[in-house]
Amino acid sequence: MILGMFVLGWIAVNYPMSPTKIKLFVWHKSLGISILILVLLRIAWRLTDRTPALPNHMRTWERRLAHTSHMLMYLVMVTMPLSGWVINSAANFPLKLYGLIRLPNIAPAGKALQTQAELVHFTFFWILVALLLLHIGAALWHHFVQRDEILTRMLPGTTRRLRKAAD
Ligand code: HEM
Ligand code: HEM
């Protein structure tokens, strides 16, 4: 969903002013708010459940880098939709989730705030691109160079198998 939002956000911003541009933004905003809800649920789940241990061969710096980059990705995944919502509120556009549910403004209207929120949205987008290059590169490195189970254990049902083996 996040990767789709990159494409959608980029196309919407660069599309010439037209009813299609408005539609692209309606989808961008509705999907973005849906991502915010899913990420908050994921964070609650992550804080209350165990995660499978990292492979034993991983050195301390690798564990720290993995942990830090994951935490940063969660931070960016919350900041992206929130800053988008602030842009919308500062611009005083009505925000309707999938054209159905009216959402309140979360910030006062104002051009200066809108410009600042746009800068945050844009900057965090590039921060997320950098983190994802590291993230996807690391996943491929684990799979093809280290040849461990980090990538394949993302498949459904794997966590249950790993937990059974650990208990
Ligand atoms: C995970 C969620 C999101 C991602 C990954 C994302 C990504 C992007 C990207 C890549 C752009 C184009 C680059 C830019 O000008 O910043 C963009 C623009 C924009 N997004 Fe989002 N977005 C998200 C959520 C939202 C939400 C929830 C809203 C509003 C409720 C929103 C409102 C906007 C607006 C108004 C723009 C145009 C900004 C401008 O004209 O400078 N976005 N977004
Ligand atoms: C081609 C795309 C991607 C691949 C191959 C990939 C792969 C992986 C792998 C292998 C893990 C480690 C799981 C483990 O420790 O067992 C992981 C975790 C994670 N991924 Fe991705 N990922 C991708 C895209 C993304 C995207 C787009 C995001 C969102 C920004 C993301 C966010 C995360 C986070 C936050 C974790 C840590 C999960 C946790 O421990 O709570 N990933 N990913």
What average pLDDT does the chain have? 94
Residue 124, pLDDT score: 97
The pTM assigned to this predicted structure is 0.92
Per residue in 53-71, pLDDT (tens digit) is 899 999 999 999 999 999 9
Does the CB atom of residue 130 touch ligand 2 within 6 A? Answer: no
Band of pLDDT at residue 126, cut at 50, 70 and 90: very high
- Closest ligand 2 atom to residue 54 Cα is 15
Residue 141, pLDDT score: 97
Residue 164, pLDDT score: 75
Does the CB atom of residue 95 touch ligand 1 within 6 A? Answer: yes
Does the CB atom of residue 140 touch ligand 2 within 6 A? Answer: no
Instruction: Report the separation in Å between the CA atom of 105 and the middle of ligand 2, taken as the mean of its atom positions.
Output: 31
Instruction: Report the separation in Å between the CA atom of 135 and the middle of ligand 2, taken as the mean of its atom positions.
Output: 7
Does the CB atom of residue 162 touch ligand 2 within 6 A? Answer: no
Residue 68, pLDDT score: 98
Among 26-30, 91-95, 163-167, whose mean pLDDT is lowest?
A: 163-167
Does the CB atom of residue 93 touch ligand 1 within 6 A? Answer: no
Distance between terminal CA atoms of the chain?
34
Burial of 2 per CB tally in 10 Å (0-12, 13-18, 19+) = middle
Per residue in 131-164, pLDDT (tens digit) is 999 999 999 999 999 999 999 988 887 777 777 7
Handedness of CA 65, 2, 125, 29 (dihedral sign): negative
Q: CA 77, CA 59: separation in Å to the nearest integer?
A: 27
